[in-house]
Amino acid sequence: MTANYSEDTIRTLDWKEHIRKRPGMYIGKLGDGTSQDDGIYVLLKEVFDNSLDEYMMGFGKAINVSIQDRKVEVRDFGRGIPLSKVVDVASKMNTGAKYDSKVFKKSVGLNGVGIKAVNALSHSFIISSVREGQKKTVEFSEGEIVKELKPVSTDELNGTYVSFVPDKSLFGKYHYISDYVESMLRNYVFLNSGLTINFNGKKYFSKNGLLDLLNENMNQPGLYEPVHLKNGDIELAFTHGTQYGEEYYTFVNGQHTSQGGTHLVAFREAFVKTIRDFYKKDFDTADIRASIVVAFSIKIEEPVFESQTKTKLGSREMSPEGKSVRNFVMEFVKKYLDDFLHKNTETAEILLKKIQESEKERKAISGIRKIARERAKKASLHNKKLRDCRVHYNIKADKRLETTIFITEGDSASGSITKSRNVETQAVFSLKGKPLNTFGLSKKIVYENEEFNLLQAALNIEEGIENLRYNNVVIATDADVDGMHIRLLLITFFLQFFPDLIKQGHLYILQTPLFRVRNKKKTIYCYSDDEKIKARNKLGPNPEVTRFKGLGEISPDEFKYFIGRDMRLDPVHLKKGDQISEFLRFFMGKNTPERQDFIIDNLKIEEDLVDAE
């Protein structure tokens, strides 16, 4: 039956209804806090960016941030919002001072949407402005005014205070991961030397800008002392390491553009051209940039981003009347990098040797790569390993952040996930048995080993993760010894050859229930013994308890609950100080006696192994 299309079917949503109905347009994806690009972090960023813009315009030297029990608080010491406009900036779309580039010359946001989205998507949203001895406070809930107080006298310092609690009805059982928040805030201080950020009792401050950022994100020293160059609205720090691939930390007006954009494209081109000109040799692009680690920042007027989440720069001009981003970056890199290499011959010699070694390795495996690519292409045509999702065939930009690939082992497990997945955004890659331990092996093995070659092709990461086909790469194995071993082998593979996949927060472990507890009226899935005990108490006498021994034992009808909205993912992430080479050597190397001693010394014996049924 065809739906009736009439005047009654046409609706006009008000601002908050539209945001709540289509949150993806404003904050990318909702998520539960497991991923760095989940909506709750975007909400924090939108509020913080307003405070940062005050600092960038020269007002206030500190910003305080607190997150306790899902309540987020941000206090800056800028000029404060004009008191008569506090309600408008928090609840009227397309309202803000950033349309006036004289007031906010090089800000992050220009569309007047961000803080309104935070308001509409929060159960509680409070905004206060202190300006010239007067304080105005307004409280909202889901975008609706709950309480508006009249201005009162105060001796507080000028500035703006915002607190919000994201709406659980939209975000589910969300939680903030402190490591993600700290990483975000550290980036802000690296990009704004002189800014102090106080977060939950910790103080963040940087003296050396991007040089500090580069050192913070490197797990081991580079081949040469990082090169640090800056001039006005552009700053660069880089070195080469021993890892595979390229790592970029790029920023526009203090905004972390994790997906790059026109400025990154310009830098990569400029770097290659400058190196070729300096050494007067036509080196291959891949050899010049192999293992490079870069922190790069520019400031431009009225930046245009490709989405509301501002993770990719689309601007081609420095300002409405200025030169192109490409020419600006090209001129800077050519002048300053060329000068540096002429003045620092030792660094230039190390860099040349690195390029020549990369060239030698690339040529040594070029034949293998060609054969492997053809093999991967044929395999994808027959769809033996990969069950892809529809997003890649029906392009929907707002769905890209939701794309997930499950890497699983065995026909039964992959079959269950395949039947119960969301075919729009979820793909499945099936392993055959345990993968190879790649520790200490060269990248040649990636092409020689069929499993890894096909996995690399499925993810589209041969040339780096810039074109990664899935935002979330999820290892889905049994919660037993063999399953844990497969997890470790896969993590070893990614750490060895594609560490930026982990560093940029794309790798996860799927948590599946260990028990099913049910009676005739209700079923509860439990992920631990504690949850099982609580479920049994809740369901009353003699509930049926089932222990899942593997993913293959979970039917497709049940699996849909574990890979849907309430999917539990444990992020695999690296912290400052994590030494990848030492980690892999200890856990995956041939130091068997040393590892055995560690296991024995750290073995915890459980006294109550038997459950009293």
Instruction: Report pTM.
Output: 0.78
**What's the pLDDT at 544?**
94
Q: What is the mean pLDDT of residues 458-463?
A: 88
Distance CA 62, CA 213 (A): 19
Mean pLDDT of the chain: 85
Query: If you write DSSP's letter for every residue of 529-588 in order, what string do you get?
Result: HHHHHHHHHHH-SS-EEEE--SGGGS-HHHHTTTSSTT-EEEE----TT--HHHHHHHHH
Per-residue pLDDT at 480: 80
pLDDT at position 440 is 84
d(CA 438, CA 457): 17
Q: Is the pLDDT of residue 103 over 60?
A: no
pLDDT confidence tier of residue 7, bands split at 50, 70 and 90:
low
pLDDT the model gives residue 94: 54
The Cα–Cα gap between 47 and 115 comes to: 6
> Phi and psi dihedrals of 188, rounded to 5?
-60, -40
pLDDT at 107: 53
- Range with lowest mean pLDDT among 27-36, 45-54, 592-601: 592-601
State how far the Cα of 159 lies from the Cα of 80, in Å rounded to an integer.
4
264 by Cβ neighbours in 10 Å (0-12 / 13-18 / 19+) ranks as: buried
Q: How many CB atoms lie within 10 A of CB 520?
A: 8
Q: Give CATH for domain 366-512+550-580.
A: 3.40.50.670
Beta pairing partners, 153: 134
Question: What's the average model confidence in pLDDT over 41-63?
Answer: 91
Task: Kindly give, in sequence order, each residue whose CB lies less than 8 Å from that of residue 400, ignoring residues fewer than 6 positions away.
Answer: 391, 471
CA–CA distance, 297 with 264 (Å, rounded to integer): 9
585-594: list long-range contacts, CB under 8 Å, 24+ apart. 585/439, 587/488, 587/492, 588/437, 588/439, 588/488, 588/492, 589/439, 589/440
What the block records as the tokens of 180 is: 């993600």
Q: Which of 112-116, 320-324, 340-344, 432-436 has the highest mean pLDDT?
A: 340-344
pLDDT digits (tens, 9 = 90+) for 149-180: 999 999 999 999 999 999 999 998 899 999 89
Give the least confident one: 94-108, 203-217, 589-603: 94-108
| 118 and 46 Cβ atoms separated by less than 8 Å | yes
Exposure of 213 in the CB half-sphere (CA atoms within 13 A): 30
- Sequence-separated (6 or more) residues with CB below 8 Å from residue 153: 133, 134, 135
Distance of CA 314 to CAs 43, 53, 74, Å? 22, 20, 29
pLDDT exceeds 90 at position 362: no
Cβ atoms 82, 131 nearer than 8 A: yes
Burial category of 343 from C-beta neighbours within 10 Å (exposed 0-12, middle 13-18, buried 19 and up) = exposed
pLDDT greater than 70 at residue 452: yes
Per DSSP, what are the bridge partners of residue 76?
63
Strands 71-76, 122-131: pairing is unpaired
Sheet of 292-298: strand order equals 227-231, 234-240, 292-298, 247-252, 255-256
Contacts of 387 (CB under 8 A, 6+ apart): 414, 418, 421, 427, 428, 429, 430
- Single out the residue of 194, 206, 198, 212 nearest to residue 249, CA to CA: 212
Angle in degrees, CA 310, 312, 313, rounded to 5: 95
* CA distances for 476 relative to 326, 424, 568, angstroms: 42, 19, 11
Cβ-based neighbours of 29, under 8 Å, separated by 6 or more: 37, 38, 39, 401, 402
Cβ burial of 550 (10 Å; 0-12, 13-18, 19+) is: middle
pLDDT tier, 364 (very low <50, low <70, confident <90, very high otherwise)? confident
Residues 6+ apart with CB under 8 A from 288: 271, 272, 275, 276, 355, 358
Report the alpha-carbon distance of residue 513 to residue 532 in Å, rounded. Answer: 10
Neighbours of 111 (CB within 10 A): 15
The pLDDT tens digits of the residues spanning 543-561 come to 999 998 788 788 888 888 8
Q: Give residue-wise pLDDT tens across range 379-426.
A: 665 556 788 888 765 545 557 778 999 999 877 788 889 999 999 999
Topology (CATH) of 16-204: Heat Shock Protein 90 (3.30.565)
| 264 alpha-carbon distance from chain centroid | 17
Helix (H, G, I), strand (E, B) or coil at 405: strand
**pLDDT tens, position by position, 227-272:** 999 998 899 999 999 888 888 999 988 788 888 888 999 999 999 9
Around Cβ 481, how many Cβ atoms within 10 Å? Answer: 8
CB 166 within 8 A of CB 122: yes
- The residues spanned by each domain of the chain are 16-204, 210-364, 366-512+550-580, 515-547
The per-residue b/e assignment along 136-157, b for 16 or more CB within 10 angstroms, e otherwise, is bbbbbbbbeeeeeeebeeeeee
What's 210-364's CATH class? alpha beta
Residue 248 makes CB contacts below 8 A (sequence gap 6+) with 260, 264, 294, 296
Q: Which helix (H) or strand (E) holds 131?
A: strand 122-131
